[in-house]
């Protein structure tokens, strides 16, 4: 492609800014990033409070976040944030140690079996499901893999593996099929509590491409990255480093694609481009663009999670001594309850804690936001850490995905076949997974494939 191609990127979250970085590294300088909000970072959102930053969205990373590390190296920054740790409570607020045999003598057989099944899962992922961890979903429904390995070098890999079709199954069914049901006890912590839905509804592909074996073990071992100025800082630094900074407060009201050009009406003015990269939610693309019938058909199948975050103050005597996971509340039956609450700063009690809850399941009615909020506040009282004030609140459009039927029918292959068809390329969360590294990695692959 001509290096002078005029490229419009919609969205200045990790996907959009990474697309700008990778384009720039390949010699494309004529790109414009449009962001409707007044800040960059998307769901990497780290507001200030009492002189420090807290997290309203993404919290952490792991050493296998290779695309995020690309950004760190490009910007000259590193993961310099507070060390994280955690403990566990049951739904009554009692502190428990679910993975400590000495504290759960009656559960030793189950814990030993779980350990064996985790080992078994690691082995079959590398053998029976070879290629499972390739970024993105291209070819999976057809029993093949095609992309880049999850290594620092990200060498290209491809191959045929009929077993990969199993990844379309809900993760619960996938585990049952392979005799590793108890591994869900491990994977649920960094998956469901982080807002990515429930194992009886979400295809295994999403679970295992995000929590590939090495990534999940990093979470287990608490081998985690954080950033002193928050995850948003990563993307603020990238935006500052790019030759073309994102244009904030950009309200796009119309996109028209005709005669090999893309016309974008932003803040009342129409601008002309040659190519379009959409990293904003594809589900809403037809609301402002001249979406074709195939775009409408496929994008209408996208579902998403309703993931609510509260930042709350507590009285000093009620401030939690550590972050807590509440496994009891990570089931569809406990929809809307507090799943995890996070203490970022261990050296002071004048900071907020953040709470996380889901309020939508495939087979149940959506819980109203205010009902969920009150449930979480009540749960904090049950946890013996009552809130004295709500400082901030956010209900995210979170983890766009498709369910098993559409995944197995080849949704991803059909959408991938549309890449570039209308001088438009599709990136962002739904094309890979809804964490910052997977979305950035997909942007890298998109640039490698088409630019």
- State yes or no: pLDDT of 151 exceeds 90: no
Decide if pLDDT at 150 tops 90: no
Q: What are 19-63's pLDDT values in tens digits?
A: 999 999 999 999 999 999 999 999 999 999 999 999 999 999 999
pLDDT digits (tens, 9 = 90+) for 407-437: 999 999 999 999 999 999 999 999 999 999 9
Query: How far apart, in Å, are the Cα atoms of 371 and each of 10, 118, 335, 383?
Result: 34, 37, 11, 18
pLDDT of 105 strictly over 90: no
The dihedral over CA atoms of 151, 157, 160, 161, expressed in degrees to the nearest 10, equals 0
Summarised one tens digit per residue, pLDDT across range 74-90 is 999 999 999 999 999 99
Q: DSSP assignment, residue 317? A: G
Q: What is the pLDDT of residue 103?
A: 80
Which domains does the chain show, CATH number per domain? 7-43+228-301+403-450 (3.50.50.60), 108-214 (1.10.405.20)
Which pLDDT score, from 0 to 100, does residue 322 have? 97
What mean pLDDT is predicted for residues 215-241? 96
- 449 vs 22, 26, 61, CA distance in Å? 12, 12, 26
Q: Please give the helix or strand (H or E) that residue 340 lies within, else none.
A: strand 340-342
Question: 126-138 pLDDT, tens per residue?
Answer: 999 999 999 999 9
CA atoms within 13 A on the CB side of 323: 22
- Of all residues in the chain, the percent with pLDDT exceeding 90 is 96
Query: Average of pLDDT values for 341-369?
Result: 96
Question: Mean per-residue pLDDT for 294-313?
Answer: 98
Strands 48-49 and 52-53: antiparallel
Query: What was the pLDDT predicted at 104?
Result: 79
- The per-residue pLDDT for 31 is 98
- pLDDT category at 295 given cuts 50, 70, 90 is very high
434: closest CA among 205, 185, 243, 218? 205
> How much is the pTM?
0.96
pLDDT category, 112, cuts 50, 70, 90? very high
Cα–Cα distance for residue pair 289/305, rounded to 1 Å: 24
Q: Does the structure show a pLDDT above 90 at 101?
A: no
Q: Which residues pair with 394 in a beta bridge?
A: 309
């Amino acid at each position: 492609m001509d290096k002078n191609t005029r490229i419009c990127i919609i969205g200045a979250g990790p996907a959009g800014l990474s697309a700008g970085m990778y384009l720039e590294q390949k010699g494309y300088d004529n790109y414009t990033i449009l962001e409707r909000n007044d800040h960059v970072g998307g769901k990497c959102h780290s507001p200030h409070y009492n002189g420090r930053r807290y997290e309203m969205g993404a919290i952490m990373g792991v050493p296998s976040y290779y695309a995020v590390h690309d950004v760190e190296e490009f910007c000259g920054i590193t993961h310099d944030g507070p060390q994280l740790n955690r403990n566990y409570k049951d739904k009554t607020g009692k502190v428990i140690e679910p993975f400590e045999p000495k504290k759960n003598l009656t559960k030793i057989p189950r814990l030993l079996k779980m350990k064996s099944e985790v080992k078994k899962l690691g082995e079959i992922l590398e053998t029976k499901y070879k290629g499972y961890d390739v970024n993105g979903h291209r070819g999976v429904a057809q029993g093949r893999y095609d992309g880049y390995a999850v290594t620092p070098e990200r060498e290209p890999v491809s191959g045929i593996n009929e077993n990969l079709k199993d990844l379309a199954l809900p993760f619960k069914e996938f585990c049952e099929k392979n005799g590793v049901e108890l591994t869900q006890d491990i994977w649920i912590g960094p998956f469901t509590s982080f807002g990515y839905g429930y194992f009886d509804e979400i295809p295994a592909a999403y679970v295992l491409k995000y929590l590939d074996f090495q990534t999940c073990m990093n979470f287990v071992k608490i081998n985690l990255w954080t950033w002193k100025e928050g995850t948003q800082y990563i993307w603020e630094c990238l935006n500052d480093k790019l030759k073309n900074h994102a244009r904030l407060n950009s309200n796009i009201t119309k996109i028209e694609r005709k005669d090999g050009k893309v016309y974008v009406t932003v803040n009342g003015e129409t601008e002309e481009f040659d190519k379009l990269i959409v990293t904003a939610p594809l589900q809403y693309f037809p609301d402002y663009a001249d979406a074709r019938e195939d775009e409408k058909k496929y994008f209408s199948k996208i579902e998403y999670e309703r993931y609510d975050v509260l930042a709350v103050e507590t009285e000093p005597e009620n401030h939690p001594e550590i972050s807590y996971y509440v496994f009891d509340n990570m089931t569809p039956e406990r929809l809307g309850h507090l799943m995890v609450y996070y203490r970022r700063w261990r050296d002071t009690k004048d900071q907020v804690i953040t709470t996380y809850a889901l309020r939508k399941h495939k087979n149940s009615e959506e819980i109203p936001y205010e009902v969920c909020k009150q449930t979480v506040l009540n749960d904090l009282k049950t946890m013996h850490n009552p809130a004295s004030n709500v400082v901030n609140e956010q209900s995210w459009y979170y983890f766009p995905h498709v369910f098993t039927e559409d995944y197995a029918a080849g949704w991803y292959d059909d959408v991938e076949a549309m890449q570039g068809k209308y001088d438009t390329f599709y990136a962002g969360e739904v094309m890979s997974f809804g964490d910052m590294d997977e979305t950035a990695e997909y942007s890298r692959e998109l640039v490698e494939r088409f630019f």
